[in-house]
Structure 1
Amino acid sequence: MKTNHGQEFWKAKAHWLPLCDEVRQGKHTRRSAFDAFSTLKASGKLPCMGPAYFTKIIFFADPKADGYILDQWTARSVHLLTGQWHWPSVETDYTTKKKAINDPNQLRVRVVDKVTGADYEDFCLLVEDVGLRLGIHPHQAEEQLFSNGGKKAHPWRAHVMGAWRHQSPVFYS
């Protein structure tokens, strides 16, 4: 998050901090928490934060820890595992697309605000299914879908980046 975005977000804490407390107290399901954050975002009371950030809050604040992080890397992984490019919905950062032609590490996408609580629930169920199939806890499956980036990307992350470069998925905005 850019510094000025963090400052703007923090100024609006009176709107979103009570929701964080509710999530922490277990008053929401992962889907209802996602819907509540989306409603705040749509009303302008959650500036500079989209699903990739508020799903982190859902995961770390919820005592059940069963709401998984939906960001560009887990969304891209889901696209590859399911063989489709439209769910969860993402858009590309076109300022990086030209650089990404020769270096897939440079392509940036973001999970769009039109992703719904139902989409998020389906995503979480898929993460749980991956965990079940791999014989690991769902949060470990989510970590595997995310993998590590950097100069020496984890093999799965490298595969995801390469597949996105060669598959030319359709982006939605």
Structure 2
Amino acid sequence: MNTLDSTTFLLPQIHGRSIFNRVIPTVNYLERTFKSLEQNGWFYTNLKPWEKQIIKGYALQDVIHKLRAANQQSKVSIIRDQILKHSANDLGTYPLAIYLIVYFIQQTENNQYKSFVEFAQKHGITENLNSISAIWSCGTKDGKYLGILDDSLNIIDLDFFHRWASITPSSTFKEKLKITVSAPLLSKSSYDSHIACFKASINEAPRFTGVNSLKWSEYVMGKEYDIPQFFNKKFDRNEVWDYCGDNTNTDLDALLIVLSWGGMDRMHAKSLLDNPAPVLDIVRRLRSKKFESRKEAFDYIQDKRKQGLLPGMGIGYFTKLICFLQPSLKGYIMDQWLAKSVNLLLGSPLIHIASKTWVSDQNTPAIYEDFCTYIDGLASEIGKSGFETEEFLFSIGGRKKGLWRGYVVQHY
């Protein structure tokens, strides 16, 4: 946290919104709201009206799945990020209450409640003592929770509000909101039906195998390429990981295994490998563990795609590279079936799907991270690994669909 710079003062307004008007919250605070969410299985729709107000006030309704899987420190970071991403005009009274308390402390060099009562009445905020108490209670409790005030109500992160005041939410962020916030979260009954089917499907123990990798590779590379005879089979997921993890196998062969396992359109693959240098650069970086996070890997590959260097390879396939070539990142495959599964369980279109089948380029590294985080949380709930959970969500397609795949087709 940054120490207080006593020469830099906050203004009595932020983003054009006065902190003396419409700043009285319903008495509630973040820590208590999270306890209520836990008691209600993290179902937003089950919260009391005053609890929903604080969720909306901090714009948290669209990141509840992230908060559910987060530890205390991560929760704080998520909430602070949400504040910084929004104009004060688009948030409720709760973050404004913190700002007002900090403004009061900074201006008066006093952090006593009695003095705040006088300050609130003097500035025309309200004469009502209950309303003043609500501002004080919410502002101080949440201010301490978010690391802006210490336990003695000293300001320890004034810079947070200076950063918030200086940021105008970008059009890029607003565009992202259109993708991620166009449907309500699920009701408990709907979620219970979805999750019950998903949990029942786990007993099927589905195991997807790709097409014959030798035949696929011969078509894409031509018979003049020396394709290992070991390719003459249909690989399952574990065999793909084993092959790619063996550094004696070439980067190109590892790439062919991944793409053939996924059944990539052969003409798309030929287009991609017409100039293999860009995609092989990605393969080398992943296999040598150059990326520190799945989000970083996604960002790097997506940038290559935006430059037109990965013809024929969309997000559904390049996340397969992250999954199989650097599994330590726990980056999951974001193809249409995983995307639809997560969207269905969330009751919100986190992942943008174009033309009902294509995970589009509107999806950002941040969305990919949210997608993977949701799978991590679901894995914890069912007592499985993230990769096992991803495989269960993918299920089995074809004429004889797996239980979960059939459910997704019916309900999405």
Bucket of the pairwise TM-score, normalised by the shorter protein: 0.7 to 0.9
Q: Which has the higher contact order (CA 8 A, sep 6+)?
A: 1
> Aligned AA for 1:11?
D
> Aligned AA for 2:295?
R
Which residue of structure 2 lines up, in the alignment, with residue 89 of structure 1? 352
> Aligned AA for 1:71?
D
- 1:63, distance to aligned residue in structure 2 (A): 4.2
Deviates more, 1:9-18 or 1:71-80: 9-18
Unpaired runs of 5+ residues, structure 2, are 1-263
Which residue of structure 2 lines up, in the alignment, with residue 99 of structure 1? none
CA contact (8 A) 1:68 1:142 kept: yes
> Aligned AA for 2:315?
P
- 1:158, distance to aligned residue in structure 2 (A): 0.6
CA contact (8 A) 1:31 1:121 kept: yes
Q: Deviations over 1:131-172 (max 9, x none)?
A: 0000001100001111001111111111100002xxxxxxxx
CA distance in 2, matches of 1:37, 1:83: 28
Q: How many residues align?
A: 148
Matched, 1:67 2:315: no
Return the match for 2:410 from 158, 162, 166: 162
Deviates more, 1:154-163 or 1:14-23: 14-23
User: Could you say which structure has the larger radius of gyration?
Assistant: 2
- 1:73, distance to aligned residue in structure 2 (A): 0.3
Return the match for 1:15 from 278, 283, 292: 278
CA distance in 1, matches of 2:268, 2:337: 21
> 5 Å matches for 1:1-173?
1-28=264-291, 29-64=293-328, 66-84=330-348, 86-92=349-355, 109-164=357-412
CA contact (8 A) 1:25 1:63 kept: no
CA distance in 1, matches of 2:411, 2:266: 32
- 1:65, distance to aligned residue in structure 2 (A): 5.1
- 1:20, distance to aligned residue in structure 2 (A): 1.4
Deviates more, 1:143-152 or 1:1-10: 1-10
- 1:114, distance to aligned residue in structure 2 (A): 1.6
CA distance in 2, matches of 1:21, 1:129: 30
- 1:2, distance to aligned residue in structure 2 (A): 2.6
CA contact (8 A) 1:79 1:87 kept: yes
CA distance in 2, matches of 1:63, 1:26: 9
CA distance in 2, matches of 1:26, 1:65: 9
- 1:87, distance to aligned residue in structure 2 (A): 1.5
Which residue of structure 2 lines up, in the alignment, with residue 100 of structure 1? none
Which ranges of 4 or more aligned residues in structure 1 deviate by more than 4 Å? none
Which residue of structure 2 lines up, in the alignment, with residue 104 of structure 1? none
Q: Deviations over 1:47-82 (max 9, x none)?
A: 110110000000000041500000000000011100
TM-score by length of 1: 0.82
Secondary structure of the corresponding residue to residue 328 of structure 2: coil
TM-score by length of 2: 0.35
Unpaired runs of 5+ residues, structure 1, are 93-107, 165-173
Q: Deviations over 1:18-67 (max 9, x none)?
A: 12111111111211111111101100001110110000000000041500
- 1:6, distance to aligned residue in structure 2 (A): 1.1
CA distance in 2, matches of 1:63, 1:87: 23
CA contact (8 A) 1:26 1:63 kept: no
- 1:12, distance to aligned residue in structure 2 (A): 2.3
CA contact (8 A) 1:35 1:117 kept: yes
CA distance in 2, matches of 1:12, 1:34: 21
CA contact (8 A) 1:74 1:146 kept: yes
CA contact (8 A) 1:52 1:69 kept: yes
